[in-house]
Structure 1
Amino acid sequence: MIGNPAYPTYQVFLSIAVAAAITCLAMPFFIRLMKKDGIGQQIRADGPQSHLVKQGTPTMGGVIMLAGVVITVALFAKWTPDLILAVLAMLVTGSLGLLDDIESVAHKRSLGLTPSQKMAGLITISVVFCLAAVNWVGIDAVVRFPGGAAIDLGVLTTTLPIAGGIQIPWLYLVFVFFLMAGLSNSVNLTDGLDGLAGGCVMVVMLMMAMVAYRYDEINLAIFAASIAGACVGFLWHNCNPASIFMGDTGSLALGAALAALAILTKTEITSLIMGGLFVCEALSVIIQVASFKTTGKRVFLMSPIHHHFEKKGWAENKVVTRFWIVSAAFATLGFALYFQLG
């Protein structure tokens, strides 16, 4: 562990800079490797026509982002059970995204794994994460709200008489799945414009680092700060026009990391407020599909909602900048509610 333990604040801020530097400096080598091997993003044929020029842009930049996070965490944090679990959740979900990206590139289509394959992977990851969080880390099967209110989801718990007794909190297990799968897919849906997902995740993770630090979860604060830094380094190469995309490797992993941090810091509901923009992106897709299937009409010109504004004539940079502002507003609101009412 680098740095004086008496100055944990310094380590949190330094982790942002180090993760940003690693990601930014390593990315050009990865971009050249992707171009050499002809590995590029496949663009939706039914998407905005302005996006067709992005066909073939190198993808899977999330690989370098995750590497930057892990290296930075290894330098500055102590490998406590909760940190190990958070990092593993990010990496395993990122591996699922990597399989999806490889499948997409190999078959030259915008969709990789089937929805059922991806969902099976997310179910497995969330179940294992929940059981490890409850039985290994000691997380209570309770969902806390800003203001101190809480719901005990551990009332239906089965204890298996193996390995000292494994507790399976069924209701909390379902909640963890919806949170982890929901945030992973929400960030994935947000990753549709140059710089959009990276900038929004950066803002939310900075707030999550502040939450973790406030409650003396220094190692988790370093983890969140490292993710924010990796997003900064990635944005240098992902700003419009993007030189590389993070791919599902990055977006699924970042969503899972946010969910893991929320569960381990007991800020599950707060995280949904902080990540309000991701929630809006997912809701826009749900509303669009539900409306079209029930009435045959579309609520939005195109979903996710960032494409709706593109269809209305907004320039891509305008959409991205304004969505960053909205994301910052949600993150600030969640942070303020948590500490004002908590």
Structure 2
Amino acid sequence: MLGYAFFAFVIGLAATPWFVSFLRRNRLGKQLRVETVDGRDATIFRKYHKDKFGTPTMGGILVWSSILLTVFFSRTLALLGLVDHSLLQRGEVYLPLFTLLSMGLLGAVDDYWNICGLGKRKGLDVLPKILFLLLISLIGAWWFSVKLGYDQIHVPFYGDVRVGWWYVPIFMFILVGTANAVNVTDGLDGLAGGLLVIAFLSFGILAYLN
């Protein structure tokens, strides 16, 4: 598992310079907001962020493409008989991959709309985003609850707590909340990159320990 993580890290690291150069050449950068969420003119925001206009965006492509290439690489090794199991041989893997692709697609569309100046606020509106997130989270909750039989959550320093059907709304709340937290934090400074490193490292340690 650690080898696969290192493989994905190397792919992302190696592809970053070329990808950023590609974005700059094609002027695929952030557009500044022209108004706030409540419709007012975002003059203060533009004042402090005017130098960041055109910051390369769509960096999420590096994240999910590195992971997908790693998954396919593990599958290839398994088919060649070089390893006993690939990353696709566990049912728990399909949902994260589905969520990764779905959220990645949503983010890519949102970034593309921002670059092209589409939508009322140069990007997807809040309602379509929330509806899409709710749909994806509902599918994920159904998969874990019905297909995999999960009905309990783990509380740190306490243990497992059986929540029954409440597992579905709790699952949806966590997924939608996390996705929005990343979207809000990212902004023009690329802050999501550092947060993702911390999050992925934490999940990697948990996966390794379990």
TM-score, length of structure 1 as denominator length: 0.50
**Percent identity of equivalent pairs:** 29
1:13-43 superposed Cα distances (whole Å, 9 cap, x missing partner)? x333322221122233333333343321112
Q: Which residue of 1 aligns with 2:130?
A: 119
- Take 1:193 and 1:200, find their aligned partners in 2: how far apart are those partners? 14
Q: Equivalent residue for 1:53?
A: 51
Correspondence for 2:150: 140
The equivalent of 2:116 in structure 1 is 106
> In the alignment, is residue 131 of structure 1 matched against residue 142 of structure 2?
yes
Give me the whole-angstrom Cα distance separating, in 1, the residues matched to 2:98 and 2:19.
23
Aligned to 2:26: 37
In structure 2, what is the equivalent of residue 78 of structure 1?
87
Change (3 A) 1:126 1:23: same
Q: Using the TM superposition, give the Cα deviation of residue 145 of structure 1 relative to its aligned residue in structure 2, in angstroms.
A: 0.8
Shift of 1:150: 4.0
Partner residue in 2 for 1:67 = 65
* Aligned pair partner of 2:10 in 11, 16, 21: 21
Q: Distance in 2 between matches of 1:114 and 1:149?
A: 40
Structure of greater relative contact order (alpha carbons < 8 Å, 6+ residues apart): 1
Cα deviation for residue 203 of structure 1 reads 1.8
- Structure-1 separation of matches of 2:200 and 2:10: 17
Query: Structure 1 residues 24 and 63 mapped into 2: Cα distance closer, same or farther (>3 Å)?
Result: same
TM-score after normalising by structure 2: 0.79
Give the alignment partner of residue 97 of structure 2, picking from 84, 87, 90.
87
Alignment of 1:248-267 (within 5 A): none
2-side partners of 1:195 and 1:99: how far apart?
Answer: 17
Residues 29 and 57 in structure 2, CA contact (< 8 A), matched pair in contact too: yes
Does the Cα contact within 8 Å between 2:32 and 2:46 map onto a contact in 1?
Answer: no
* 1:121-166 deviation per Cα after TM superposition (whole angstroms, max 9, x unaligned): 0010000111112222x14121221234444332xxxxxxxxxxxx
Task: Report the AA paired with residue 136 of structure 2.
Answer: I
> 2: distance between equivalents of 1:134 and 1:197?
29
Structure 1 pair 135/98, CA: closer, same or farther in 2 (3 Å)? same
Shift of 1:62: 0.9
SS in 1 for 2:203: helix
Kept after mapping to 2: 8 A contact 1:103/1:113: yes
Amino acid at match of 1:201: L
1:55 is displaced (CA, Å) by 0.6
Structure 1: tracts of 5 or more residues without a match: 1-10, 155-168, 216-342
Distance 2:142 2:31 in 1: 37
The answer to whether the 8 A contact 1:60-1:101 is kept is: yes
In the alignment, is the contact (CA less than 8 A) between 1:42 and 1:108 conserved in 2?
Answer: no
Separation in 2, partners of 1:198, 1:89: 18
Look up the equivalent residue of 2:101 and give its one-letter code.
Answer: L
Alpha carbon RMSD of aligned pairs, Å? 2.2
Aligned to 1:143, the other structure's residue is in SS state: strand
Q: Does the residue aligned with 2:61 lie in a helix, a strand or coil?
A: helix
- The number of residues matched between the two structures is 188
Separation of aligned partners in 2, 1:65 and 1:36: 21
Structure 1 residue 176 and structure 2 residue 174: aligned? no
1:127-276, aligned counterparts within 5 Å?
A: 127-136=138-147, 138-154=148-164, 169=165, 171-192=166-187, 194-215=189-210
In 2, the alpha carbon distance for the partners of 1:32 and 1:61 equals 12
Task: Give how far 1:195 is off.
Answer: 4.9
How far off its partner does 1:85 sit?
1.2
Distance 1:65 1:205 in 2: 11
Q: Quick one: distance in 1 between partners of 2:118 and 2:141?
A: 35
Which stretch has the larger CA shift, 74-83 or 102-111? Answer: 102-111
